[in-house]
Amino acid sequence: MMKANMQVDLLILGMGAAAELAAIYAHDARPDLNILIATKALKGKGGCSRMVQGGFNVVLDPGDSHEKHLMDTLKGGQYINNQDLAKALVEEATPTVKELETVSGCFFDRREDGHIHQKAFAGQCFDRTVHKGDLTGIEIISRTTEQIFKRRIPVLEETRAVELLLDSEGKTVTGALLFNMRRGEFLVVEAAATLVATGGGPTQYRFHAPGPEKSADGIAMLYRAGALMRDMEMIQFHPTGLIVPGSVVAGALLEEGLRGAGAHLYNGEGERYMLRYAPDVAERATRDVVSRSAYLEMMAGRACPEGGVRIDAAHLGADFVLKNFPGMAERCAQFKYDLARGMVPVSPSAHFFMGGGVIDTECRASLDKLFVAGEDAGGVHGANRLGGNGICESCVYGRLAGKSIARYLGKAENRSIKKTKPGLAADMVARLSAPLSRATGTNPLHNRTEIQESNWNKVGVVRNKADMESALGDFASLRKDVDAAAVSGGAYNMVFNVHLDTLNMMDVSVMAATSALQRDETRGAHTRSDFPEQRDDYGLFNTFLWRGPDGLPQWEKRAVEFKHKSLEACQKHKK
């Protein structure tokens, strides 16, 4: 089941915005580089970047400023962002979005005067969100994928990364073990530099926004390889995921711009409840506030008959909704909902990891020859990501990663490929393929459902100590079930791929619960019913995790460094 080794200068895992822009900028800086991309999906057809509806936050207008965008980002992150990373995000967003048009050929919506149109998004003091209708991600990924083709950068499709490879000392990443899902074959690719940009995706919850191919592969691989992780308790729930009973589409998003344009939220009793929770901004509050509010309404018995709450955009006018949000209107219509003329049932939906691998502004991780960009990295967003800052991060840090890696590989001493620990890849293959040789065992589909239900009920939108400790007990038992899975079938085996997914879901679930138990307060996306207040006298720290000898997380807290903006400035900032 294992093919011969390949060797390249740069191995890129993933093919969303971060991965594609990294490939483009690394190639353009050093056309001699031998670059290889491995994607779990088809070229340009998978991942979360393509699913982005809302837009890209960026300073373009003379009335806006990088300082305003930075302060909005730090305020939204409830002050625990890495300020170096947040500062680079907002400052590099401006040239990045311009080069998306001039280098990659994107074309965003225009105002009547020809300038790029920018719309309102929640949690921001200025309308700075660049978009292409409500299909912004499709525009970006379609154009950047064309640039990958143009540069003839090779892509392994339907080939997922399953583990990072290490040298004998365990300090240097030497490439990755890949699995070709079409052929059922493992492949070792060794590289002088490896970029992890698989795109996160918290699908370990009952309701989740990312597509079904997402399973936090990159974050879990980083952890298992021994990379330093941070802020894994901070998992964002988008407030408006579609309720579609019995469908894999359940949790698909109705994007931020809908509420920015004036849509209202109602509970099952017909009350516009956000006027109670956030009277000053109502539905335009940040995602953590709106998600928490919806969840509390549901738990208080004020859910709509479908089990969630309802969003109403009809008062904006059918023509306005259909013109400005055609993608969402069409998606709703597929499930017999009329977004333009009626209410649509929605629920909080697991959406985004604010935590992830520790990086610097060069995208360097804690292991040698390892780079991370996009949702697999932590620190940019702190405790809560602003809508529109996600695709911004992917594009900005993909661009920065490409340039950084090109500089790194421009030095002759860095172009060498370290030797992988002897026997490591073979041991990995034996462990991962074990379910295929078992006659009896647990069903990966059942294991996945159990993981999702335990996370949703015990480490979800609102948490408490007893539930999370119970969840860790669940996860210990579930890990035994996952390890005992049995899979039958031939090469193209989707149940086997679900098994690989559950291995990653288990690791991120344990990291999230462990990290969440260390934060005895409510902050951003982390809501504790037993500690309902945000405590700036206590909670201004980041939780760092690493894999211990027993496979379980070890952790430490480090105080937030207010390097560019003081706590007082962040607290006083008005969104």
- Residue range 509-566, pLDDT digits in tens: 999 999 999 999 999 999 999 999 999 999 999 999 999 999 999 999 999 999 999 9
Residue 256: predicted pLDDT: 78
Which residue shows structure tokens 């991965």? Answer: 19
For all residues of the chain together, what is the average pLDDT?
94
Q: Which of 163-167, 198-202, 471-475 has the lowest mean pLDDT?
A: 198-202
Cα separation of 83 and 564, whole Å?
Answer: 6
Beta carbons of 467 and 453 less than 8 angstroms apart: no
* Nearest alpha carbon to residue 188 among 426, 519, 417: 426
Closest CA to 295 of 234, 349, 255: 349
Q: What percent of the chain has pLDDT over 70?
A: 98
Q: What is the pLDDT of residues 520-535, one digit of tens each?
A: 999 999 999 999 999 9
**Average confidence (pLDDT) over 483-505:** 94
* Residue, of 2 and 222, whose pLDDT is higher: 222
pLDDT above 70 for 3: no
Residue 446 has pLDDT above 60, yes or no: yes
pLDDT digits (tens, 9 = 90+) for 355-377: 999 999 999 999 999 999 999 99
Kind and range of the H or E element at 392?
A: helix 390-409
Strand order in the sheet with 56-57: 56-57, 129-130, 118-119
Which residues are paired to 159 by β-bridges?
180
What is the structure's pLDDT at 497? 96
Contact 309, 277 (CB under 8 A): no
pLDDT at 351 over 60: yes
* pLDDT the model gives residue 248: 60
**Which residues belong to CATH 3.50.50.60 in the chain?**
6-234+352-414
- The per-residue pLDDT for 210 is 86
CA 387, 354, 60: angle at the middle one, nearest 5? Answer: 35
- Of the candidates 351, 69, 131, the one whose C-alpha atom is nearest the C-alpha of residue 260 is 131
What average pLDDT does this structure show over 142-167?
A: 98
Looking at residue 253, what is its pLDDT?
Answer: 78
Among 573, 408, 553, residue whose Cα is nearest residue 22: 408
Per-residue model confidence (pLDDT) at position 134 = 82
List the catalytic residues. Answer: 238, 259
For 80, 158, 437, 491, the CA distances from 184, given in Å and listed in that order, are: 43, 10, 14, 4
Two structure tokens written together for 185 = 């074959």
Check pLDDT > 60 for residue 164.
Answer: yes
pLDDT digits (tens, 9 = 90+) for 288-346: 889 999 989 998 999 999 889 999 999 999 999 999 998 889 989 999 999 999 999 99
Mean pLDDT along residues 274-299: 91
Query: CATH 1.20.58.100: which residues of the chain?
Result: 426-541
User: Does domain 6-234+352-414 match CATH 3.50.50.60?
Assistant: yes
DSSP state of 282: G
- pLDDT over threshold 60, residue 1: no
Which CATH architecture does the domain made up of 238-350 adopt? Alpha-Beta Complex (3.90)
CA distances in angstroms from 142 to 47, 104, 147, 150, 235, listed in the order given: 12, 9, 9, 12, 28
Task: Count the Cβ atoms, other than its own, within 10 Å of residue 81.
Answer: 31
Write the DSSP string, 27-75: HHH-TT--EEEE-SSSTTT-SSGGG--S-EE---STT--HHHHHHHHHH
pLDDT at 380: 98
Residue 246 banded pLDDT, cuts 50, 70, 90: low
* Over residues 231-259, mean pLDDT: 83
Q: Is 76 helix (H, G, I), strand (E, B) or coil?
A: helix
| Most distant CA pair in the chain, distance | 68
What is the CATH number that goes with domain 426-541?
1.20.58.100
Positions of CATH 3.90.700.10 in the chain: 238-350
Average pLDDT of the segment spanning 425-438? 96
3 state SS of 485: strand
Whole-model pTM?
0.94
